[in-house]
Amino acid sequence: QRHFFAFTLDSIMAIFFGENSDTLGGGSSVYGDAYDSAHRNVMEFFFKTLSTFCAVKLLPWPFGGSSGLAFKWCMARHPLF
């Protein structure tokens, strides 16, 4: 699977960005590292806030829901957001 990922990344970098990266040969890619970091942060944010956001969705208007005041407050004070 590691080789498949490296081949896919090399192909996409050449086709879409015109940049040659040799991750299949063991090199590193700035774009690949940035993607990995972004994905890691999104997953960490999701798993740390899942229970809070499920509870916030149950609150009545204007506090509850995905556009409610409690949701916005939780997002504003979270360090990853």
Residues 50-69 have pLDDT tens digits of: 998 899 889 998 998 888 99
pLDDT averaged over the chain?
Answer: 88
Helix or strand run (H / E) with residue 69: helix 69-77
The list of the chain residues with pLDDT below 70 reads: none
C-alpha closest to that of 49 among 23, 78, 24 = 78
Report pLDDT for 43: 94
Report pLDDT for 66: 82
Percent above pLDDT 70 for the chain:
100
Residues 7 and 22: their CA atoms lie apart, in Å, by 9
Report pLDDT for 38: 94
Report pLDDT for 45: 87
Contacts of residue 65, Cβ cutoff 8 Å, sequence gap at least 6:
56, 57, 59, 71
